[in-house]
Chain A
Amino acid sequence: MRDSRTRSKSRWAALPLLVFVVIVFGVPMLVLLGGTFTKEGTLSTANITESLQGAYLTALIGSVKISALVAVLGGVLGTFLAQAVVTSRFRALREAVLTASGVLANFGGVPLAFAWIATLGNSGVVTTTLGLGDHGWSLYNFWGLTLVYLYFSIPLMVLTVVPALDGLRPQWREAAQNNGASTWQFWRYVGVPVLTPALLGGVVLLFGGAFSAYATAQAMVGSTVPLVTLKIADALTGNVLIGHENVALALSLDMILVAGLVMAVYLPLQRRSARWLR
C-alpha cells in the first residue's frame, strides 16, 4: 500500500503541466467566455441563444453528424489498417506506414482539398477516366466531405492504435488457440476487450479532429455542407461580416460543450474497460 507521502509527491510531478495548461490554454478560454457573454458592452446571454438557433443550430448539428461518422468509420478502417501493418513481416513497411501516418494526420486544408478535387472533382482524373460524371457523381456533398476527412482521420487512428496492438502479446494468441479458440473468438473475448481503451481514445481523438477542421471544407464545399467551424471563420476572419465576433465565440463555447458531452460519455467507458487491465 503506497504511503500518502509518495502519493502526494507524485502529484507534484504533474504540476508543471497543469500550470502550463491553465495559463496558456485556460486564460485565452476565459477571455473567450468573457466575449461570449458580452453583447455590445453589457453582460448578456443573447449570443448563446443566437448561436443555438436557425442556421447556427443546423451548422452545429451538421458538424456533429459528420464528426461522429468520420470517427466511427475512421476508427474501424484505421484499426484494420493498423492490424495489417503490425502483423506484417516487413519492418520497412511498418516504419514507412507509421511515418506516413504521422505526416498525413496533419495534412489538411487547401492542399488536401485540391488533391481530392483533382482526383474526384467534376473534372478530376478519376472522374473523367471512369466517366463518373455521367452517372451523377459529385464530390461536393456530405459523403464526399466524409471521404476527404477520412484522409487525415485514418492515419490518426493508425497512430493511436498501433502501440496498443503492439501490446497484444503473441502469447495470448497462442494460448487462446491452444484452448481451441477460433480467430473470431480470440478477438471477441481477448483482443477487442484489451484494445477497447485505446480504441475509444482513438475514436474520441478522431471526433475532435473532424469536429474542429474547417479549411478543407471551406476550400471544397463551402456552405453546401453546414459546419459550425465555417460559421466561426466567417465571423472572425472574413471579408463580409462585421461585429459578429461574439456570436462566433458563443459557437465555440457550444463546440466545447459538445466535446464535454462526448468526454462525459467516454471517460466512464474508458475507466470501466481499463479496470481489468491494471
Chain B
Amino acid sequence: MSTRTAGLVAALTITTSVIAACGAAPTTAVGGSESAGSTAATATSAQDFGGLDKLVEAAKKEGRLNTIALPPDWANYGEVIKAFEAKYGIKITSDNPDGSSQDEINAVKTLKGQDRAPDVLDLGSAFALSGAQEGLFAPYKVQSWDKIPEGQKDASGAWYYDYGGYISIGCDAKRVKTCPQTFADLLKPDYKGMVALNGDPTKAGAAFAGVYAASLANQGSFDDIQPGIDFFKKLKENGNFNPVEATPATVEKGETPITLDWDYLQAGYAKEFSSKGVDWKISIPSDGQYANFYAQAINKWAPHPAAARLWQEFLYSPEGQNLWLKGYARPVLLPSMQQDGSADAAMVAQLPKVEGTPSFPTPDQVNKAKETLASGWGAAVSG
C-alpha cells in the first residue's frame, strides 16, 4: 500500500467533506417558512394570532421551546418547565442552566439563525435594558399587561419584570450559635471567617445587590455605594469575610455558614439543606432592605416564536405566577393577584418577612454604582 495512494485517498476524503459542508443559507426564514411562522415572529400580542386558542395551536405546531440559564431550583423553574410541558405538550430544551445574563445575550448573538438559539430570556434588569437598546428583543404584551405596575415593564413591550426578591442573610443554625439578623450583626467577632457572598460583586448579580444593601445599611443611598464597599473592607479587616464563592457544596462542607443572597434562593436552599445536616435560617436585614426584579424577554430571532409567546402567557397567568410564588419569589403580579384573590395565600405566608415596600434605583444610579464598584472593590478587599 503505497504512501502516495494513501495520501490521495486522504486528500479526496477531506475535500469531499469540506465541500459537503459548504453552501449558502436557505432563502426561507429559519424555524418554519409557512406564513404562520412569519406572523408569529412579529406578533405583539395574543390578538395578533386571533386569540389565545389560536396562539396555543400555533405553538403546539412548533412543538418545541428553547430556554437558557434557568436552574431548576431557581424560583421553582424546574416545576414551571414541567407544568408547561405537561399542559401544552411542548418539549422544552433547557440549555446552560448556570449561565449568566451576559451568557444569555451572547447566546442570542452567536446562535442567531440556528435552531438551538434561545427563544425566551430571563435577564437581570440592567441587561434587559441594554439588550432592548441593542434591538435584540421582539416586543410582546401579555394578556395581563395592564396589571404589571408602571415602571416594571418597557413601554413598547421589549421586556417586563417577572419576579424578584430581597437580599437576605442565610445562616446555618447548626454551626452558628446565634444567627446574625442585620448587617450590623455581621461585624461581630463571633462570625470570624464565616460571611461569604455568592461570588464577586463585579460578576454576580446577588453579590452586587449585597454590597448595595450594605451601603443602604450604612448611611449610603442608591446614589452612593461607597459605604457598602467600606463595610466589606471592614468585614475583611475583622477577618469575618470569607472570599470563597458560596455554593451548596461550601455550605454543606461548613466553610460558608453565613451567606448573602436573594431570599428566594435562600428559602430554596433551606429545603434542600435540611436533609444534609444543615439548619438554614433566613432573615431580611432590617437596616439594609434591597429588592430587585429580573425581566423576561423574547428573542427577536427566536426559532420558535409562537411557543415563545405562549411561554410568556403561561408565566403571566395565575398558574405561572403561583409557581414562582411556590419558589419563594415575589412575582410581579402579586399586588393585583392579592387583590383579586388568585394568589395562593399559604405560599404568600411562607415568604420571608419584610417591612414596608421596596423602592428601586434608576438605571443611571445602578450604572454609576457599578462603575464605582468596578474600580474600588478590588482595592477594598485585597488589603
Contact = CB atoms under 8 A, between A and B. Distances in A.
Interface in A26-79: 54-55, 58-59, 62
A270 interface: no
Contacts of B373: 240
A243 interface: yes
Nearest to B209: A240
Nearest to B99: A237
A242 B201 contact: no
Interface stretch (A94-102, A167-175, A217-225, A258-266): A217-225
Nearest to B197: A222
Interface string B101-140: 1110010000000000000000010110010000000000
A238 B381 contact: no
Interface stretch (A152-160, A178-186, A195-203, A226-234): A226-234
B379 A239 contact: no
B100 interface: yes
B101 A121 contact: no
A224 B197 CA distance: 13
B255 A140 contact: no
Range class of the A interface residue count: 35 or more
Interface string B228-257: 000000001000001111010110011100
Contacts of A121: 244, 253, 255
A240 B244 contact: no
B45 to A, nearest CB: 29
A121 B208 CA distance: 24
Given A55-B375, A117-B255, A240-B370, A223 B100 contact: no
Nearest to A59: B378
A177 interface: no
B19 to A, nearest CB: 17
Given A55-B379, A122-B255, A219-B245, A239 B102 contact: yes
Contacts of A242: 102, 126-127, 130, 370
B244 A117 contact: yes
B199 interface: yes
A140 B242 contact: yes
Range class of the B interface residue count: 35 or more
A123 B253 contact: yes
Contacts, number: 121
A124 B201 CA distance: 25
A140 B102 contact: no
B378 A58 contact: yes
Interface in B164-198: 193-194, 197
Given A123-B255, A240-B204, A242-B126, A55 B374 contact: yes
A117 B205 CA distance: 24
Contacts of B203: 218, 230, 233-234, 237-241
A41 to B, nearest CB: 13
Given A117-B255, A122-B193, A224-B236, A241 B245 contact: no
Interface in B273-328: none
B200 interface: yes
B243 A221 contact: yes
A223 B381 contact: yes
Contact of A240 (B106, B201, B247): B201
A210 B315 CA distance: 45
Interface string B129-159: 0100000000000000000000000000000
Given A117-B255, A218-B200, A234-B202, A243 B244 contact: no
10 contacts: A114-B253, A122-B193, A122-B194, A140-B242, A140-B244, A219-B245, A222-B197, A238-B100, A238-B203, A239-B208
Given A117-B244, A238-B203, 15 more contacts: A55-B375, A55-B376, A58-B378, A117-B250, A122-B242, A123-B254, A140-B242, A218-B199, A220-B245, A222-B244, A223-B381, A225-B382, A226-B382, A239-B205, A242-B370
Interface of B: 100-103, 106, 124, 126-127, 130, 193-194, 197, 199-205, 208, 236, 242-245, 247, 249-250, 253-255, 370, 373-379, 381-382
